[in-house]
Each structure stands twice: as C-alpha cells, then as structure tokens.
C-alpha cells in the first residue's frame, strides 16, 4: 500500500483556502472505501479516515465563508496504480462490487464534477461512496 501524506493534504488545503474563500467555491477530497468499512487495520485506512475528518473540519470551519468541502470514498477504480493486480485478483476484486466490475476514472471524475457544480450548492461535509456498491452493507 502507498503511504498517505495527511500533512500534505492539510498544506494543500491551507494553500487553496484563500482563493476558495474569496470565490465561495468548493473543495473535493479523495479518500477510499476502507475509511468507511475498515481494512485490516492498515495505516492506509487510518490516513484515509483522517482525510474525511479534515474535510468535515473544513466544511464546518469555513461554511460561513461560502466554502463547501466534500469527499469521495473511492472503491476499485481502474488506473495505472491498479495494473499491479493479477488477472485473478482483478476479477475477484470486481466481484466485490454489486455492479460486478471496476469503476473507470471518468466515473470518479463525474462525481467530482457534480460536487463542484451548482447542483451541489447546498451539499457540504459529505462523503460520496463511488464503489459500484461494494460497501453498501
């Protein structure tokens, strides 16, 4: 598993906040489904859960300034980072989702675009799970 740099997420947040506050914009954080469902107690899980906490703090702290902060909890999305899985692992992981497949990067991007759009103008402090139904238990 990759190391997750929560301090880096906080630094990027601090750097972006002046502009986002000025425009009344939105921030979208990227987390992962283990932050919701757990995964063998790994540091990755803990770090991704911390990203959700950071997002909620930003939503609460800067909401009066018109800042919206939300997050995606991504499941298995087919990217270069997932190429390392063998075909067997890839197929097995696809079966974990109710839709029986891996998500595509464009599907995650569409969820981000929705959070940033006027359609989500009254949505803040929320986590949208984009995982094909893998953790809907």
| Catalytic positions, written as ranges | 44
| Side-chain-side CA neighbours of residue 49 (13 Å) | 12
> Strands across the sheet with 68-74, in order?
26-32, 68-74, 127-130
- CB 33, CB 73: distance < 8 Å: yes
26 vs 78: CA distance, rounded Å: 26
22 is written with which tokens? 């000025």
Measured between alpha carbons, how far is residue 57 from residues 48, 67, 132 in Å? 15, 11, 27
């Amino acid at each position: 598993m990759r190391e997750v740099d929560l301090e880096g997420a906080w630094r990027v947040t601090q750097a972006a906040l002046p502009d986002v506050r000025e425009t009344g914009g939105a921030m979208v954080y990227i987390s992962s489904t283990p932050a919701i469902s757990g995964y063998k107690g790994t540091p990755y899980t803990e770090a991704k859960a911390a990203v959700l906490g950071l997002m909620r703090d930003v939503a609460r702290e800067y909401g009066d300034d018109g800042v919206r902060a939300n997050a995606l909890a991504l499941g298995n999305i087919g990217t270069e980072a997932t190429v390392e899985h063998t075909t067997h692992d890839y197929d097995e992981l696809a079966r974990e989702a109710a839709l029986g497949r891996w998500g595509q990067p464009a599907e995650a991007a569409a969820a981000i675009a929705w959070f940033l759009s006027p359609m989500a103008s009254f949505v803040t402090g929320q986590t949208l799970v984009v995982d094909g139904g893998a953790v809907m238990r």
